[in-house]
């Protein structure tokens, strides 16, 4: 192995050993003295804006300071490299909605591998990069984790385990203002936020003890709640105290308490867990088991986190047998006595009465519940009471061609039906004109009725095929039919109608109560929008490509050329006509040329060395100064602090800030200037490296 690799490996291992030793000494001192003897530095990655103006950043900062730590908010770009490692003991990334690219995820992983902890704020959508970063980090650092899905409208979340009492006990361990969340499961994870059996807060303790701890919560709105400060303190406590790492790899199987069922009932035992296999007492390997008889039932659940089992004893008790009889009919004035008598039973009828018998005198549904020793049985009977049969086929009626009507003589149990053609059903379908009659006979008497039915033709109506109209034109619809009444979709009642907008139009045409409808889809095609741009003045030798491209269009330029583009190389007036399905659009442009050269390009170096050796001592740009007007020249340090500012085109930066030499490193510039020839404004930004 090369010597430099041996030295690097030795140095790296000594750094980890020194950090762990100092950390545990620090934690011991804190425990013995009941003070924050460690004075840890908490670095908070900004969530929305810099200068501590975002409420989440400030909230985390204030909470950390209230616990005796040093806290600072830094920009998102801090995660682009490891320069912040040495000055950071705890890293808090406070926004779950800002994109977290792969290089910053790699930086977070390196930070964890130095043994330092991270809070990674997630958000409600599983696909967001902060959520994906959490699962990537867990799976990379020795655990397993996968996302399940997003839940909306949660509002409250149960706080579990030590997160409810680690720093300050939470009297009512419920997290408010938790609106949405992404739930998931894995191994090596301690779940601490739960709702309806799903988990939304995760504490990952890597199996490698030299790695730092990782916490994620998949909603950020909860931070704004004033009642949630205690959970934020408990989160920080779990980050800094390795003794609180006791991951729950698996939710143990629970089949429930031993129970007694009534004969004839069943119960479904559910042992479902993610990525698991199952073994029941009878050799079944399904996640659920249906019990229909008394006995002892057990299941063994195995997944990559371990093996778990549970047992349940189920007994059965007899249920009473109750039968009120089949549904029946009776004539009015002849009550029906229902008898549910069973030895040792109690009774409850549909009207609340509790006798073993019930006398039915009116039509209805009658229900009884019979209970013996906690097991119940029900029965229902429908009883219809009929007077002498009543029959009503309806008034004589007129139908339209193609219509039908179903004549109904009632559905009286035990009745005998006899129609004019000998049919014996309770209903009779009519499809043509005529007179129809029926006799209905029951034990309570006979009834007779008849009906006369007439048919009339349906009007024919056609208002045209679906069509496309050019923007600005109107379109006339005509539904005229002799002796007809009209009703359009807008409630107008004339036979004709003009339309000026796209849409689905319909009309109902009625003649002698027979109605027909037709509809038409009218679409308006927009006239093509053509823009060749404003009149322009070009530099000598320059050209300009005029673009009138429009889907499915034909073109005609001022010189009768027919392409979608036209290249301008000389002064003149240029125009084009664009035709799309006979809808016309046009535009023109006048192109002029300057009589000399008009270069406004600016060249900016990417490094300079203000060491006074006479070479590259100033940061300056190269430009034809007579051609431009400088609007602004600004330089920032990597923290966003102002290093240099000028509006004088002759000013240069000498690498000093307030008279003192600036540090070596990257600085960021913004240059805004105007081209005196064209009037066009330019904005340049980038970075420059200061070397010594």
**What is the per-residue DSSP string for 509-538?**
EEETTEEEEEEEEEEEEPPPP----S-EEE
**What is the per-residue DSSP string for 550-567?**
-TT-EEEETTS---SEEE
Whole-number pLDDT of residue 170: 72
Q: Do 665 and 566 reside in the same domain of the chain?
A: no
Q: Do 13 and 149 reside in the same domain of the chain?
A: no
Q: Do 83 and 228 reside in the same domain of the chain?
A: yes
**DSSP β-ladder status, 660-661 and 665-675:** unpaired
Is residue 512 within 8 A of residue 532, CB to CB? The reply is no
Whole-number pLDDT of residue 597: 84
Of 525, 545, 563, which residue is a domain's last? 525
Helix (H) or strand (E) holding 97: none
Give the other-Cβ count within 10 Å of 379's Cβ.
16
Q: List Cα–Cα distances, 72 to 75, 78, 662, in angstroms.
A: 10, 12, 22
Tally the domains of the chain. Answer: 8
Whole-number pLDDT of residue 425: 94
Q: Do 269 and 218 reside in the same domain of the chain?
A: no
* 416 contact partners, CB below 8 Å, separation of at least 6: 424, 440, 441, 442
Of 244, 267, 284, which residue is a domain's last? 244
Whole-number pLDDT of residue 596: 66
Give the other-Cβ count within 10 Å of 65's Cβ.
13
Q: How far apart, in whole angstroms, are the C-alpha atoms of residue 442 and residue 438?
A: 13
Q: Do 305 and 194 reside in the same domain of the chain?
A: no
Q: Do 577 and 439 reside in the same domain of the chain?
A: no
The β-bridge partners of 366 are 381
User: What distance lies between CA 435 and its chain's CA centroid?
Assistant: 63
Q: How far apart, in whole angstroms, are the C-alpha atoms of residue 255 and residue 24?
A: 42
CATH number, domain of 431, equals 2.60.40.10
**392 inside domain:** no
**55 inside domain:** yes
**461 inside domain:** no
Query: What is the block-wise mean pLDDT of the chain (692 residues), using blocks of 10 residues?
Result: 35 40 44 51 82 72 95 94 96 92 96 97 92 95 89 84 75 80 85 88 90 94 80 93 70 78 89 83 95 94 79 90 92 90 94 96 95 89 85 92 92 86 94 95 88 94 91 89 95 94 94 94 90 88 91 94 95 95 91 80 91 90 84 93 92 92 94 87 94 88
User: What distance lies between CA 285 and its chain's CA centroid?
Assistant: 35
**195 inside domain:** yes
Q: Do 416 and 502 reside in the same domain of the chain?
A: no
The C-alpha torsion from 434 through 435 and 436 to 438, rounded to 10°, is: -170
**What is the per-residue DSSP string for 288-331?**
EEEE-SSEEEEEEEEETTEEEEEEEEEEEE--------S-EEEE
Q: How far apart, in whole angstroms, are the C-alpha atoms of residue 629 and residue 432?
A: 92
Q: Do 28 and 43 reside in the same domain of the chain?
A: no
Is residue 242 within 8 A of residue 38, CB to CB? The reply is no
Q: What is the DSSP letter of 459?
A: P
Q: Do 279 and 227 reside in the same domain of the chain?
A: no
**462 inside domain:** no
**What is the per-residue DSSP string for 597-656?**
-----EE--SEE--SSSSSS-SB--EE-TTTEEEEEEEEE-TTS-EEEEE--TT--B-SE
Whole-number pLDDT of residue 1: 35
Q: How far apart, in whole angstroms, are the C-alpha atoms of residue 16 and residue 270?
A: 46
Q: List Cα–Cα distances, 491 to 205, 494, 506, in angstroms.
A: 70, 10, 10
Could you give the residue ranges of the DSSP H alpha helices within 34-120?
A: 55-66, 102-113
Whole-number pLDDT of residue 171: 67
**531 inside domain:** no
CATH number, domain of 659, equals 2.60.40
Tell the burial category of 544 from Cβ atoms under 10 Å away from its Cβ (0-12, 13-18, 19+). Answer: middle
Q: How far apart, in whole angstroms, are the C-alpha atoms of residue 671 and residue 635?
A: 9
Is residue 170 within 8 A of residue 231, CB to CB? The reply is yes
Structure tokens at 113: 């591998």
Residue 335: φ, ψ to 5°: -60, 155
Q: How far apart, in whole angstroms, are the C-alpha atoms of residue 442 and residue 460?
A: 47
Domain span at 517: 467-525
Q: Do 408 and 497 reside in the same domain of the chain?
A: no
Q: Strand 503-511's sheet: what is its strand order?
A: 467-470, 514-525, 503-511, 485-488
Is residue 427 within 8 A of residue 435, CB to CB? The reply is no
Write down how long the chain is.
692
- Contacts by 354-363, CB closer than 8 A, 24 or more apart: 359/335, 360/335, 360/336, 361/335, 361/385
Q: Do 505 and 551 reside in the same domain of the chain?
A: no
**179 inside domain:** yes
Whole-number pLDDT of residue 645: 95
Residue closest to 184 by CA, chosen among 213, 212, 158, 216: 216
Q: Do 212 and 134 reside in the same domain of the chain?
A: yes
Residue closest to 367 by CA, chosen among 354, 376, 380: 380
Map residue 455 onto helix, strand or coil: strand
**530 inside domain:** no
Give the other-Cβ count within 10 Å of 46's Cβ.
22
Of 317, 336, 358, which residue is a domain's last? 317
Count of H-run helices and E-run strands, the chain: 5, 50
């Amino acid at each position: 192995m090369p010597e430099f690799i041996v030295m690097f490996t030795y140095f790296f291992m000594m750094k980890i050993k020194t950090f762990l030793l100092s950390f545990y000494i620090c934690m011991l001192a804190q425990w013995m003295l009941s003070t924050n003897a460690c004075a840890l530095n908490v670095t908070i990655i900004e969530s929305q804006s810099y200068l501590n103006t975002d409420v989440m950043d400030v909230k985390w900062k204030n909470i950390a300071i209230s616990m005796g730590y040093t806290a600072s908010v830094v920009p998102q770009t801090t995660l682009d490299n490891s320069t912040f490692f040495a000055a950071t003991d705890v890293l808090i990334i406070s926004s779950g909605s800002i994109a977290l690219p792969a290089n910053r995820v790699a930086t977070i992983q390196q930070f964890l591998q130095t043994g330092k902890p991270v809070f990674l704020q997630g958000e409600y959508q599983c696909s967001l990069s902060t959520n994906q970063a959490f699962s990537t980090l867990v799976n990379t650092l020795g655990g397993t984790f996968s996302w399940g899905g997003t839940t909306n409208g949660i509002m409250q979340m149960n706080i579990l385990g030590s997160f409810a009492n680690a720093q300050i006990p939470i009297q009512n361990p419920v997290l408010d203002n938790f609106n949405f969340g992404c739930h998931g499961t894995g191994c090596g994870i301690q779940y601490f936020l739960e709702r309806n059996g799903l988990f939304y807060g995760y504490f990952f303790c890597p199996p490698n003890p030299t790695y730092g701890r990782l916490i994620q919560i998949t909603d950020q709105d909860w931070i704004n709640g004033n009642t949630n400060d205690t959970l934020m303190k408990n989160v920080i406590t779990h980050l800094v105290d390795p003794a609180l790492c006791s991951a729950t790899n698996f939710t143990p199987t629970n089949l429930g308490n031993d129970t007694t069922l009534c004969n004839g009932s069943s119960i479904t035992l559910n042992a479902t867990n993610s990525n698991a296999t199952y073994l029941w007492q009878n050799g079944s390997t399904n996640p659920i088991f249906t019990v229909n008889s008394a006995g002892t039932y057990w299941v063994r659940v195995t997944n990559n986190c371990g093996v778990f089992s549970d047992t349940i004893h189920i007994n059965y008790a007899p249920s009473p047998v109750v039968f009120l009889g089949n549904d029946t009919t009776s004539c009015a004035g002849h009550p029906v006595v229902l008898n549910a008598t069973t030895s040792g039973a109690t009774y409850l009828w549909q009207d609340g009465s509790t006798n073993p018998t019930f006398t039915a005198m009116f039509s209805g549904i009658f229900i009884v519940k019979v209970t013996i020793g906690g097991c119940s049985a029900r029965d229902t009977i429908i009883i219809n009471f009929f007077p002498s049969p009543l029959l009503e086929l309806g008034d004589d009626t007129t139908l339209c061609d193609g219509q039908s009507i179903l004549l109904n003589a009632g559905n009286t149990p035990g009745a005998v039906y006899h129609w004019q053609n000998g049919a014996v059903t309770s209903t009779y379908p009519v499809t043509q004109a005529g007179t129809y009659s029926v006799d209905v006979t029951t034990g309570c008497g006979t009834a007779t009725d008849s009906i006369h039915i007439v048919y009339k033709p349906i009007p024919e109506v056609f208002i045209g095929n679906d069509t496309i109209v050019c923007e600005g034109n109107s379109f006339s619809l005509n539904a005229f039919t002799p002796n007809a009444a009209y009703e359009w979709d807008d409630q107008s009642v004339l036979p004709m109608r003009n339309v000026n907008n796209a849409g689905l139009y319909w009309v109902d045409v009625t003649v002698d109560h027979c109605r027909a409808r037709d509809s038409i889809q009218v679409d308006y095609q927009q006239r093509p929008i053509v823009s060749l741009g404003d009149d322009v003045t070009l530099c000598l030798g320059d050209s300009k490509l005029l673009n009138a491209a429009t889907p499915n269009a034909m073109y005609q330029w001022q010189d009768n050329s027919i392409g979608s583009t036209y290249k301008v190389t000389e002064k003149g007036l240029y125009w084009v006509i664009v035709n799309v399905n006979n809808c016309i659009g046009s535009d023109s442009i006048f192109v002029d040329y300057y009589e000399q050269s008009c270069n406004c390009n600016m060249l900016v170096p990417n490094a300079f060395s203000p060491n006074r050796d006479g070479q590259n001592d100033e940061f300056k740009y190269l430009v034809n100064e007579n051609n431009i007007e400088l609007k602004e020249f600004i330089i920032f340090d990597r923290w966003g602090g102002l290093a240099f500012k000028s509006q004088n085109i002759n000013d240069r930066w000498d690498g000093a800030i307030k008279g003192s030499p600036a540090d070596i490193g990257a600085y960021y510039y913004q240059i805004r200037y105007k081209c005196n020839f064209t009037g066009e404004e330019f904005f340049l930004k980038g970075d420059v490296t200061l070397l010594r």
